[in-house]
Amino acid sequence: MISEAVIQALKKFVPEENICLQEPMAGHTTFRIGGPADCFLQPENEEQLIQVQRYLSKVGIPFFVLGNGSNLLVSDGGYRGVIIQIGRKMSRIEVEGCIIKAQAGAPLAQVAKTAMEYGLTGLEFASGIPGTVGGGVVMNAGAYDGELSRVVVRVNAVNSEGESMELDNETMEFGYRTSAVKNSSLTVTEVIFGLEKGDREQIRAKMDDFAARRREKQPLEYPSAGSTFKRPEGYFAGKLIMEAGLRGYQCGGARVSDKHCGFVINTGGATAEDVRDVIHEVQEQVKDKFHVTLETEVIFLGWEKNR
C-alpha cells in the first residue's frame, strides 16, 4: 500500500483530482481486465512527470508508465505501486510542413487522421492501432507492412532521475516490436514524425481499406490486446495456433478467437488468470507440435507482487 505521506507528496506535483487510490485497472486496458493499482495518477505536462518519477525513484516506490493499455494484462490482484498514465492530458498534436509533433499521450489513430487531413502520407497503417504515440514507439508498433520506425525522426524522453534527452531514429535501435526504450528507464514524452506530401483522398482511401480489412479479419467486437503473440520468424502465429487445433480454445471468459487465432479475447467476465491460462496452453501446444516458441506482445503486470 502507498502511505499517506507519499500521497501527500505526490499532490505537490500533480493536481489532487488527477490522483486516484485503488483504481481498477480494468478501466484502463483494452482487455477490460485488471485489479486495482495502489495509486493511479495522470501528469499534465513533462515537468509534472519528471517530478513524480524523480520522487518515486528516490523513495524506492515501484511505478509503471501506461499509455492506452492496449498491450497490457494486469493481474487480478492489481499493481502494488504507482501507475503513471500518459494519456489525454498530454496529447497535443502539432503540424509543421511535413513534420508532426505529437505528445506521448496522443492516440496513434488520431495522429494518423491528422496526417490525412493535412495531406501527409506515411502513417496510414497506424490508423487502426489502438495505442498511444508513446506506447507505440516503445513497441515499434506496426501493421500492414508499416512500422513506426520508418517515420520517426526523433523521440524526446525523460529518465527516472528527471533528465530530459533526445534520441534520433538510429539511437532508438528499432527492431520487430522493440526499441532501445522498451527495457530502459526512459519515458517517452514527445515524438517527431517525418512524413511526405500525398493526395488526401488517396490517403483516406488507403485508411478506409485497412479499416475494412481489420473489421473482416479481426475480432474487434471483443476486448483484447490486439495480436497476442509476436510473429515467429518464418511463421504466422495465428496459422500455427489454428493448425494446433486451438481455434476457439477457452478458459473461463478468455478464448482464442474463432475469427483470428492470433487474438486472445475477453468474451465477457474473463479474469487475467483466464487469459494467462489460454496464453500458456497455446504456447505449450504450439511448442510441442511445431517446436516453435511463441513470444507474447502482451506485457504482464503485477503478477509477482499480488496481495
Per-residue pLDDT of the chain (307 residues; tens, 9 = 90+): 789 999 999 999 999 999 999 999 999 999 999 999 999 999 999 999 999 999 999 999 999 999 999 999 999 999 999 999 999 999 999 999 999 999 999 999 999 999 999 999 999 999 999 999 999 999 999 988 899 999 999 999 998 788 899 999 999 999 988 999 987 889 999 999 999 999 999 999 999 999 999 999 999 999 999 999 999 999 999 999 999 999 999 999 999 999 999 999 999 999 999 999 999 999 999 999 999 999 999 999 998 643 3
**What residues are labeled active site?**
177, 227, 297
Query: What are the φ/ψ torsions at residue 219 (nearest 5 degrees)?
Result: -80, 65
Grid cell, residue 218, equals: 479481426
CB atoms within 10 A of CB 267: 15
Residue 307: predicted pLDDT = 33
- What is d(CA 47, CA 251) in angstroms, rounded to the nearest whole number? 44
pLDDT of residue 304: 66
C-alpha cell, 266: 475477453
> What integer pLDDT is reported at residue 305 of this predicted model?
47
| In contact, 125 and 211? CB cutoff 8 Å | no
Chain centroid offset of residue 49 CA: 18
At 292 the pLDDT is 97
Mention every residue, 6+ apart, whose C-beta is less than 8 A from residue 304: none
Helices and strands counted in the chain (H then E): 7, 18
Between CA 5 and CA 11 the distance in angstroms is 10
pLDDT per residue as tens digits for the range 52-109: 999 999 999 999 999 999 999 999 999 999 999 999 999 999 999 999 999 999 999 9
The pLDDT value recorded for residue 306 is 39
Residues 6 or more apart whose CB falls under 8 angstroms from that of 215 comprise none
**DSSP H stretches of helix in 218-291:** 237-243, 272-290
User: Contacts from 218-222 at CB under 8 Å and sequence distance 24+?
Assistant: 218/259, 218/260, 218/263, 219/257, 219/258, 219/259, 219/260, 219/263, 219/265, 222/257, 222/265, 222/266, 222/267
Cβ contacts of 283 within 8 Å, gap of 6 or more: 293, 294
Please give the C-alpha separations between residue 291 and each of 248, 249, 284, 287, in angstroms, as whole numbers. Answer: 22, 20, 9, 4
